Amino acid sequence: MAPTILVAGATGNTGRSVVETLSRLLQTSEKSLPGNHQILALTRSLNGAAAQRLARLPGVQVVEQNWIEITADWLRQHNVVRAFIAPHNQPNQFAQESTFHLAALDAGVEYVVRISTTAANVRADCPAYYARSHWAIEALLGSPAFQRLHWTSLQPNVFTSFCLAPAVELVKNYRRTGKLGTPLAIMASEDAPVGIIDADDVGVLAAHLLVERDSSAHNRAKYVLNGPQDITGRQIVRMVEDLIGTKVEDVRFKDMSFVEQLVAAAPPQESRNVILSIRHAAETAWDGKCKAETTSKEVLELAAPRRTPAETFKMMLEL
């Protein structure tokens, strides 16, 4: 069996771009890995449109497999030598993701690229629980016990699609009804610039890392990723107003009401207190600590993020 690059969550936010870019790089790049590496893309459903599109790409095999159930034996059977993982942000993230990394270590996987979260939040004392989980995973991978496993942790800022979703919905609704309807509630503060990033740009960087011949150059690295341009809440409002041709009077900045929806949808065994801590996740952005200028220089050299907020906004409106 050919050596395999595993992409967990291949049809997710970043995974699709990872697979597409890997397929292209392995076919065309002189800098890519030697030998006939194949891409094993994991999905929850082979019948989904995204999975079917990926299956048509050169060198890609799509399989139904939940990454949280992967064992060392499974990795050996599929000859996995490198892997990409974008873990969920649920309260049991550490238990499940650390199990995956331990399996990778035991199976002799050479290199793992993982998605973390906003760099300013990845610390032991972050009020938002999931950021502490990412910190703990990075501490685990950095311990002597995991020395044989090379890894890189990507710390992207908030995804553009998530940040702009309420604005996109308001524009679509106005175009349908001619009315503004509900207030424009956005997570961004009115004035603090934030380098929000398109998920595809994150996937492109991950793929470039995975095909690097010498993973030691990026081993144990924690790379900060932001989009190419900062944006403020006021600028998001202005984009909306320019598109609909009227002023939006009712705007709610720093809106984190979606967290209450997460609490309502959570299983009864989950702690309400833990989930509510997500309300603190955007505070570092509101404090101006998540600007585009904080992007790691290695990111800019290898695969600099290119898609601006305005470009993503336009794409989302066309969906």
CA angle 195, 199, 201 (to 5 degrees): 80
| Claim to verify: residue 58 and residue 42 sit in the same structural domain | yes
- Is 313 part of a structural domain of the chain? no
Domain span at 272: 160-192+229-286
- Tell whether the model's pLDDT for residue 31 goes beyond 90: no
Q: Which two tokens stand for residue 110?
A: 């050479």
In this predicted model, what pLDDT tens digit does every residue of 256-309 receive, in sequence order? 999 999 999 999 999 999 999 999 999 999 999 999 999 999 999 999 999 999
Q: What is the DSSP string of 276-292?
A: HGGGGTTHHHHTT---G
Shared domain check, 26 and 38: yes
Query: 165 by DSSP, 3-state: which?
Result: helix
Give a yes or no: residue 221 inside a domain: yes
Predicted confidence at residue 253, as pLDDT, reads 98
CA distance 69 to 102: 12
Residue 35 confidence (pLDDT): 72
Q: What is the pLDDT of residue 181?
A: 84
Q: Are residues 57 and 203 in the same domain?
A: yes
What is the rounded average pLDDT of the residues 22-47? 87
Phi, psi of 149 (to 5 degrees): -95, 115
Q: What is the pLDDT of residues 66-116, one digit of tens each?
A: 999 999 999 999 999 999 999 999 999 999 999 999 999 999 999 999 999
Give me the percent of the chain exceeding a pLDDT of 90: 95
List, in sequence order, every residue forming a beta bridge with 5; answer none if it has no partner.
39, 82
Q: List pLDDT tens digits, range 174-226.
A: 999 999 988 999 999 999 999 999 999 999 999 999 999 999 999 999 999 99
316 in any annotated domain: no
Which residue intervals of the chain are DSSP H helices?
Answer: 15-28, 49-55, 72-77, 93-107, 129-141, 160-177, 199-210, 233-244, 258-265, 272-276, 283-286, 297-303, 309-318
Mean pLDDT of 119-139: 98
Residue 289, amino acid? K
Q: Count CB atoms within 10 A of the CB of residue 127.
A: 13
**Tokens encoding 82:** 């490198």
What average pLDDT does range 146-162 have in this prediction?
97
Please indicate, yes or no, whether residues 125 and 180 belong to a single structural domain of this protein.
Answer: no
Tell me, yes or no, whether 120 lies in a domain.
Answer: yes
The CA-atom distances, in angstroms, between 192 and each of 126, 234, 241 are 20, 9, 19
Assess whether 182 and 218 both reside in one domain.
Answer: no
- Would you say residue 247 lies in a domain? yes
* For range 17-35, the mean pLDDT: 86
| Nearest-angstrom CA–CA distance, 253 and 117 | 22
Domain count within the chain: 2
Give the type of residue at 235. Answer: Q
pTM: 0.96
